[in-house]
Amino acid sequence: FNTVFHSCDKTVKKVLDFTRSQTSLLDSVVPDVKTVIIVNLFPFYKTDSSKLYELLNELCETRNGYEDLLEANLLKIRRGIQKADYIVYGWGDPPDNVDEWYHRELTSRILIAAKRFGKENTFVFTSTRDEIITQKRNPRHPIIITLTGLMRCKIEHFYTVSLN
């Protein structure tokens, strides 16, 4: 696939470079990637994830605005899931200032959508770390690891991810 970098952050560039390298491997589990859709768990973005809490607080002051943003973001994620031939989960653990239960609710909604659409080509990133899934049962975020490959995963009870 062709990669066009207009302006993107380190995570997006890293994932796109990694995807290009994976599709060129003879034994690739994702041999025919033509389009990459990268979505964000939250409907807004901060390069420094520790600043998400401040932004969340600001948006929650106008609750309807935040709820509308959240629902619109989840709708875009569901549409991306529906179109996808392959799905790679990589949201990581919640940043320090983001509530774990809230984070789990968002990730669960994504996993529920993948399950409803019958998506079976689901993966997590592998890395040089021993543990692929975090202690909190989240797939590791690609920016904090050295990407080495992909491993199939499945959706577990309580909508967490485990390895096949």
Nearest 5°: CA angle at 155, between 99 and 32? 110
Instruction: Please state the domain extents for the chain.
Output: 49-163
Q: How far apart are CA 48 and CA 35, in angstroms?
A: 27
**pTM attached to this predicted model:** 0.83
Averaged pLDDT in 10-residue chunks for the chain of 164 residues = 61 91 83 86 73 72 73 93 94 87 92 92 92 92 93 83 83
